[in-house]
Structure 1
Amino acid sequence: MTAFVTLTVNPTIDDSSEAELVRPLHKIRTRQSHIDPGGGGVNVARVLQRLGGEVEAIVCSGGATGLVLGELLEREGVRRQEVRIAGMTRMAHTVFERASGQEYRFVPEGPMLSQAEQDACLERVAAAECDYFVASGSLSPGVPEDFYARIARMVTQKGARFVLDSSGPHLKRALKAGHVALAKPSLGELAGVVGRELHGPRAAMQAAQEIVGAGGVEMLAVTLGRSGALLVSREEAHFCRPPEVKTLSATGAGDSFLAAMVLRLWQGEAPVDALRYATAAGAATALTPGTALCYLEDVERLFEEVAERDGDLAE
């Protein structure tokens, strides 16, 4: 049995580059091109691997691009189980515009999954043996809204802790059905769950406490971008502000946050320390360009700075 298993139903091959200026109707010359394996669960697995966690990734992949995805995961040393599908694994593009410092992200919806392919994915999930099962990322077209809710029930019946990072109806259905040990919405995703706008950490804290109080999830971690992050359970609530860093790219910061948090929780650390470590990992990923993710030395260094900023819930 491994410590962590991640699931990525709709992975990507992430192509990142930079250009001086992005303009319509012009040929945009790019440089510093880099290709990484991507998608929520894939990124969580990559970071867990870098931080010393024992992890296996379940990925749905197809076509020539699916073969490339497998090669990229192998390059990073991430063990994987592939569910082969008929459609081509999607390719996403991120372009950093040097003139403005803005980042442009182009993410296709991905291939349709047939019922047989969904069933094959569920069979892999049912066979997984782990302490923490992390389902992260968007779902492919054709996958029903209750897919993550079904997986939550399956893995918890086998004694694993189910962790979810999703959005929209998939997140709402899973939280309503229960069996979720930890969910990690962004501020906007949290607002979608409670059905109202949320402005600032205090409003997010109140909304998170409402959801936890309803009983569908044990802990809720909410990422607030540059404002910080929250962690709420029935027993406690914590808020951390991130360290000041020069952001090169926000891509993958939430995935890095989640990977670091589940690692520390698995190691038996207090929830507040897991939140601090997760906040450090998100900030460390912001230091890297394009679709690159955090490195252990940066996470450890920034963790000490996060520890000094805990507890201020000012708007």
Structure 2
Amino acid sequence: MVAAMSDILTITLNPAYDVSTEVGTVTPGPKLRCAPPRFDPGGGGINVSRAISRLGGVSTAFVALGGQTGAMFHALLGTEDFDVATFEIYGNTRQSLAVIETSTRQQYRFQLPGPDWSPEQTAAMLDRLQPHLSRGRIVVMSGSLPPGVPADIASTVNRLAVEGGARLILDTSGAALIAAAANSGPPFALLRMDGAEAAEVSGRTFTSPAALADYGLDLIRSGAAEQLVMSMGAAGTVGVSANERFFCQPPRLEPHSAVGAGDSMVAAIALEFARGGDLNDAVRHGVAAAGSAVLTPATELCSKATADEILEQVVTRGI
């Protein structure tokens, strides 16, 4: 069964017009002649919506866009298979550049900042967003925040979602993740982070899935979130709720690019929840989708066929 169009909403406040290319060797000084570029609409929530489409689901993407790059971004969205609700901002949508050095196959990723938001623009965004936070919806807020937006904006969005009867999955980083871990409002339905982010937020060192699960349970008991999904990269992913804790391990894979793995994981998790799956089902599908994404080049996301193959090889154990 495919989730209905109204079942999943993604939120991207700081999208990026993604440019990806290749060059023989990255060296300072001389002009570097690159391969023909590829252009993609990027940013956490947008990538989640794109991945949901590739996994056979549907979603609506709420995205903040502005300026000439925003217009180019919006044009790229016309080729994607999901609905779009835009919020117009002042200034140009940011850009990002990913360059693969073909001599080493290393990837260099450059992220430019987006325009500053005023408090008035943030308030207008919340007014525009609120009607989309409807009952029964799975809402995914993913990616970085624009400069000027309060670090705890996700808690505000979550409160609006809870009031509207929706469930919010949050995948962010930096100050926004620190604020989310200290969330004292209604708990997020699910909070996703990786091991390095957990170490940064907590000040602890995690050497095992069990230690990571212990920290996840601390966040659940503090009221920050109802469920935690905590990635340990190629080793696997921890799932934690008040009633269960487990570790999902993918098969050994030969990665091509790490871009899109986290977004593909979140897409699969949201899709499983929209289809009525539980946390264990969602994390297993998330691990498989992330695994399929690392097998693709540059900014490519997951593949349903590959994810389905990997899913059969995911091993889940209690911790």
Give the TM-score category using the shorter length: over 0.9
Query: 5 Å matches for 1:1-315?
Result: 2-31=6-35, 33-128=37-132, 129=134, 131-175=137-181, 176-177=183-184, 178-306=186-314, 309-311=315-317
Contact residue 243 and residue 280 of structure 1 kept, 8 A: no
Residue 32 of structure 1, CA deviation: 5.2
- SS in structure 1 at match of 2:113: coil
Cα displacement (A) at 1:124 = 2.1
Point out where structure 1 has 5 or more consecutive residues left out of the alignment.
Answer: none
Q: Amino acid of the residue matched to residue 231 of structure 2? A: T
Give the TM-score taking structure 2 as reference length: 0.93
1:179 and 1:153 mapped to 2: Cα distance?
9
* Counterpart residue identity of residue 71, structure 2: L
Identical pairs, percent: 37
SS at match of 1:282: helix
User: Size of the alignment, in residue pairs?
Assistant: 311
CA distance in 2, matches of 1:99, 1:50: 31
Residues 245 and 318 in structure 2, CA contact (< 8 A), matched pair in contact too:
no
Contact 2:246 2:318 in 1 (8 A): no
How far off is 1:101 after superposition? 2.2
Deviation, structure 1 residue 9 = 0.5
Normalising by structure 1, we get a TM-score of 0.94
Could you list the per-position Cα deviations for residues 50-106 of structure 1 after superposition, in whole angstroms to 9, with x for gaps in the alignment?
A: 222231111111111101111111111221111111110011001111222211100
Q: Which moved more, 1:197-206 or 1:117-126?
A: 197-206
Alpha-carbon distance, 1:213 to partner = 2.1
> For residues 270 and 144 of structure 1, what CA distance do their matches in structure 2 show?
32
2:154 partner letter: Y
TM-aligned CA deviation for residue 244 of structure 1: 2.1
Is 143-152 or 21-30 further displaced after alignment? 21-30
CA distance in 2 between partners of 1:223 and 1:17 (Å): 28
SS at match of 2:316: coil
Per-residue CA deviations over 1:266-286 (Å, capped at 9, x if unaligned) read 212232221111001001111
Q: Deviations over 1:166-221 (max 9, x none)?
A: 12332232342233000111111112222223234232122112112222211100
What RMSD over aligned residues (CA atoms) do the two structures have, in Å? 1.6
**Partners of 2:209 and 2:27 in 1: how far apart?**
36
Deviations 1:135-158 (A, max 9, x none): 111000001122111000001111
Q: Deviations 1:22-60 (Å, cap 9, x if unpaired)?
A: 111122222252111100011111111222223111111
Give ranges in structure 2 of 5+ residues lacking alignment.
Answer: none
SS at match of 2:25: coil
Contact conserved, 1:165 with 1:184, CA < 8 A, in 2? yes
Report the Cα distance in structure 2 between the residues aligned to 1:110 and 1:197, rounded to whole angstroms.
Answer: 32
Q: CA deviation at 1:312?
A: 7.8
